[in-house]
Structure 1
Amino acid sequence: MSAPVSTVEDAIQAALATVNDPEIRRPITELGMVRSATIGASGVVRVELLLTVAGCPLKDKLRTDITTALAAVPGVTGVEIDFGVMTPEQRQSLQSQLRGGGGATEEPVIPFAQPGSRTRVYAVASGKGGVGKSSVTVNLAAALAARGLSVGVVDADIYGHSVPRMLGADGRPTRVEDMIMPPQSHGVKVISIGMFTSGNAAVVWRGPMLHRALQQFLADVYWGDLDVLLLDLPPGTGDVAISLAQLLPNSEILIVTTPQTAAAEVAERAGAIALQTHQRVVGVIENMSWLELPDGSRMEIFGSGGGTAVAESLSRTIGAQVPLLGQIPLDTRVREAGDAGNPVVLAEPESPAAQALGVIADRLALRRESLLGKPLGLKPAGR
């Protein structure tokens, strides 16, 4: 049981401790944002709040959340909030706190690559474009978040970034010293190069720039404690796929294909890269498997059997079982929901495509955590 609140001042502090910063998702009292909180004789509480940066995009939400929390305290008749801004020293202290004590000048590390990381990292790959890889990524992220997991998405398709639109993440990242706070949508944290470019500008970069961008997305972004991180990779086996294997050697690969034979053959190559990078292939997802007609029959627009063929071929090539995780029917609602920024698993959860995606999300959510490379805490018995 928690200790009883003895005074109005204690109750005010306890109420403020229930308010989380919308970007960092930790209590504002813990982050050093509350400079002071006093109550006057008339019952009006005056709060001095320090924002991480001037012009914080979520300032209004903070005002609403603080006012709501304090209004529930007995004896409080009103709330006045004065906003200030943290000094550079205070921001550096916050950055050090969030990074676990590392100094602000230290080279940032990729938390998901550390031996003790409990985050499951899935790289969603395809052999060719146009198979719906980004739609699958976005919907799996939203489905996993709806199941109570903490989820992040890296839009690693630098040239063809589309994740922010599909997730409805129209916010801009906020910078705190050297850290980047990712926007959130539908409970999913997301970062994309599209959040740093003007309008619909094209990104014209070569390999080293792609590697550095991916490294920054993984190391400089404050992700917090994630259960699952999904990376939407560009098609094929180029620079980004190679960089990912170097930066996150513990990441696992999800292969997306269509039933079409030509697409399946290319998808096999994308999965076979695991032999060279020593990554694990979690499974194959067949997208656009069929179109359900009004009379209940199915039209196999792109043929059939591609997903099964890829799974069987990769199982033979890799020498380990690669399952077909699911087949997702072709549904115009997937496209419509993506264009609207509201994934179909949330917008139309009873649709056949959403149901199929939900089954795949369940399989990923229930996977046992690997103990590979993790200390078990065993000690030799004493004599």
Structure 2
Amino acid sequence: MDEFEEPRAGPPVYALRSVFRVYETRREGDRLLYFGDPIVSPDALERHVWPLFREAGYEVTLQVRTGEHVLVAEPRSTGLDGIPWTNVVMALLTVLTTLFAGVEWYDATVTLDDPLSILQTWPFAVAVLSVLGIHELGHYAMSRYHDVNATLPYFIPVPTIFGTMGAVIKMKGRIPDREALFDIGVAGPLAGLAAAIVVTAVGLQLEPVAAGPVYGLGGLNYPPLIQFIATVTGGELYPPGGRVNPVVVGGWVGMFVTFLNLLPVGQLDGGHLVRAMLGRRQETVGALVPAGLFGLGGYLLFVQEETLQSITLWFFWGFVAIALAYAGPATPVLDDALDRRRMAVGVFTFVLGLLCFTPVPFTFV
């Protein structure tokens, strides 16, 4: 075994003495390795050493290597390292798929002789991408505020009726405490919902599209929040002989995504909020979500006698919720309770999420 040597960049060995008896240190590239024996539980160990390594500029994890316990410290970074080409390429592809999705929403004509005619659907693409992008940038901005390493948004290009399956960011670092978990979790829905409200209000002032059913849909059903916006702005959600301007569909997408993200399970935004608000009791709440979604689907099918095609969504999300509940929520390092102001904001956010809900989001021809 190598000769014991005090680390030059990380916390000194004596600072770990009360929780981890170090008998060897090594450097492995940019990483620091502290071999030793834990003398407290893993949770207590992490609570003690995490702030020390964080202050020194490292993320630390406890690992077991060939039967030995080792604290592995890797350099932290919350900035961008060069051009994020993957993010850029996925964003450009999503612009393309949303432009193509907009062709049918506008009942537009695009030919190979004039491929740039696809650009006539740009308002739809901008509407969808803006509400999704602002949602994820809300998470990203709050991650930077709390000094948590996170990626820029990854847009997901899929040739669906909306041209995308949404966008995500990836959290690379541990979340310090419940306040950071709450702030990061709540920033996305509130930012995205604000964008969706603006997009919907603008879209309701634009000319309707004189066309019939699109993508086999009989129509979109509008949640209470969109109905309220239409009442306030004097917009028409069901124009005679046509459909609302596709920009409204962008706002609808934003609200639908907000509701799904606020399901209080796993590492969805709602799961983050409930974990921050209720602590470990979130797991009990999360376990009830699949049952609620299956129950909703069953009620619509057997009591309301909706078509199975219209409510497959809730059965699908019931299975997704099972997987999310099994994976569990994000766990902050420090688990102190939230203040009352954040608790109130959390309740308000869930109320907004319910205003984005409609039992049957769309019907089919």
The interval holding the TM-score normalised by the smaller chain is: under 0.3
Pick the structure with more helix per residue: 2
If the length of structure 1 is used for normalisation, what is the TM-score? 0.26
